[in-house]
Chain A
């Protein structure tokens, strides 16, 4: 791999041991994927935050690093709400370890925003054509597909290396040749709300790490940003899709060719719901990926003046909650809880919830394996009706 004179100097250790190691990570990955060179990144989103995932080994590594990030960098969700962890049922030992992980990142100059939706809280992190080093799979999918930026799905060390050096190796989704569609997905009929998550759940399992190009001729209304967020998130969970296209909605692909064709319809989507019924649900969890202000408003309107009968979580970024205190108040007055910095997928607290009702294809894909719980899938309205004891 080609290195500029400045990069070579870092690689040889002239800027200190931490940067030398970080550069060595970028070069090792670049070499193994056949990258020609490094490219500057506009922002970094770092994986390896939840203590449930990284454990003692990860905590020790991050704590031993010295330095300051070179570009704006934020974090993936943590294993708990950093303020209200006790209420979630998190034990003291876990909370202490989780706090140590956060403190270690803070020392490196990383902004302590723990979210899978960086694009909902900052406009300045990503624009069309920007190279990024993001980690969380749904954020990667959104950045590549909806924003038109370019990022691979980074692991914890490679994201942190990109943050400290300010660059990443040029391979994978940074290059046009890897951004061409592999599958053409035709969907008959209309799609609404959680249908996008159900569709993504199906398609991710079919195309795995491919690049699907959707044609949706039957839509009554253009998909919203939240619909695209849900579609991408679930394909990244049931498969490992990091880039997709929707004809006339997202930025267009570099070219189209003879992709494999898959036709789906209402029946296929209804089967996803039917396979994950609401019987026996003990809790409701919304906000996977993290709720936007618009979604908080919708939830608040449905809960206003009512009381929930089941434990209900609404997960969002701390900034989104802080910017919408009136919505948070309405939701909390119903007895539901607005938890920040975390979500049902990465927090060990969801293990005690029993069967959980969700409106997210991503949560549907991950919760059984990661938290060992059963999951029901329904629309936002069905989820809230269940929480209110109306079903």
Chain B
């Protein structure tokens, strides 16, 4: 299946999907030294986001979250790519400074992708395939 999207941060990557219907605050929700979701209240609690195509509605919380995405990337623990319904500045800036492909303006059907499905995100051509 091919879906049109909008490029926020350039690049192309693929990997197994990790899907959540809940917004993510990278500061607090994710451990920057392990890449694991550590907030027990989050539905991805205990999951590693490293190497995944992380699909979620958008970011929330502190703007320091942008730096946390960068720190994850430097440690090889960041998502391979990200898909948002609508990107807000924290995740958008985090993806850009980290060189992680990020797209948004996709339909809610992306939240129904099963976790583990291999998804290809081509931000430059504004195309998601799975």
Contact = CB atoms under 8 A, between A and B. Distances in A.
Residue with the greatest number of chain B CB neighbours at <10 A, chosen from A28, A48, A54: A28
Contact of B88 (A32, A55, A56, A57): A32
Residue with the greatest number of chain B CB neighbours at <10 A, chosen from A21, A24, A48, A56: A24
Interface residues of B, number: 24
Interface SS majority for chain B: helix
Interface size class of A (residues with CB under 8 A): 20 to 34
B21 to A, nearest CB: 21
A29 B71 contact: no
B71 A25 contact: no
Interface stretch (A155-163, A224-232, A254-262, A327-335): A155-163
A61 B93 contact: no
Contact of A57 (B6, B9, B71, B89): B71
Contacts of A60: 67, 70-71, 74
A61 B8 CA distance: 19
A32 B89 contact: yes
Contact of A61 (B89, B90, B97): B97
B93 A57 contact: no
B61 to A, nearest CB: 12
26 contacts: A21-B97, A24-B10, A25-B93, A28-B8, A28-B87, A28-B89, A28-B92, A31-B6, A32-B87, A32-B88, A32-B89, A32-B92, A54-B67, A55-B67, A57-B32, A57-B67, A60-B70, A60-B71, A61-B70, A155-B66, A155-B89, A155-B93, A156-B66, A157-B93, A157-B97, A158-B93
Interface of B: 6, 8-10, 32, 63-64, 66-68, 70-71, 74, 86-90, 92-93, 95-97, 99
Interface of A: 21, 24-25, 28-29, 31-32, 48, 53-58, 60-61, 155-158
